[in-house]
Structure 1
């Protein structure tokens, strides 16, 4: 049961006023009569990660206090960001962090301890690794990653033919066919990093380039066991309306790309992933 009543609201973040506490818009949260404080849970909309904060009434205004600073720090909230609070019930708010332009931001957690427990290993991901010869190397494929019993999904043969025709054979690539959990992370198969000697640094920024030429920024995260993923994948999926049950996304590292080299002259090396999206049939 909830220890207060609430409605949905939003707030523009400015560190000068809201870095330590955040004043909640009037009448957005109502405490029971005679109560001056309560506990609330904030859950970001990119992951099932939660923060506990204290609600406190001061001088007729309601504030998020104890626990708020940790939420701000671990969700990389910056000046001008828009925070949208959706009240779910049972003292729980879903929080969406958007940039000043109104687009949803990718949320990069700062510490490994903040994550939920890993469920399974590389085999839990529906990923297919392809070598430069277009012959499939021994990769990671989840259950149902083939075309069998996947109505509407792109056929494996169609994907391989597309890669042969449209992907630079000097560039490493891998195929993402869906995720069962941790949808803000793009796992980089170890076969790819080892075969191509890819050196991705922790917290290094990666630029995703979608089929329309739009660029989105992700950030590398390295696990202690050596696995590598890129945070910010959910933003890519949302903007491109990827359907995890039908669509297939081919990720191509642009290691050998003349246009990219021309763009980067004088700016130093950058890591870019070009996205090729193959749409499945709607049923």
Structure 2
């Protein structure tokens, strides 16, 4: 048997369907507590598939052990809804790996859920993700969740409004990844890394991962770039492919242009 499959089958796990007042707390099944080895857990770490972690305190009540303080933040950051289905895998210690499924029984696309939530609060022109693949160069007004940013280039580019869950991993739109040769038509990875360049000329090598649904994500290296440039949730970032495998970053902070790209 494949070692990874064997490990997955041996990992203790429980499942939770989100109903009722799930946003306030969530009960850990009583039969699962035996996996703690007699230890009394007071706090734990919830890790999502992207590797981001949330600290949550546990509270023992008459009717069971509950995820309590910090759970509301996890719910909010992942846009959890009534009918979502969560799988908690426990590898020991105080850490749980959490996989989220929506009502279609498919793994939940948190970025898409964030876009839907934003569109409900903004007017019909507001979008999180704007993609342009056009030549010759023309001026484009990109509408983002924090306003409009003006950008001009002959190159392929896309924008992202940074969310908390984007700080360590970020998804590249599928058709951009195809157009720039990051993934094949069959969904197979064509490159393992891309180079990120900031406005000051510094660069980072970011690893690429292709998910089962063919989404391409930037992981290791992207987080270091975010921290070095102090990019915060709500900032808009334009990713411009200046050449194959090289992305120039243009950062817009709170609707203030911090870097004006040179027209090519």
TM-score bracket, shorter-length normalisation: 0.3 to 0.5
Whose radius of gyration is greater, 1 or 2?
Answer: 1
TM-score (normalised: structure 1): 0.43
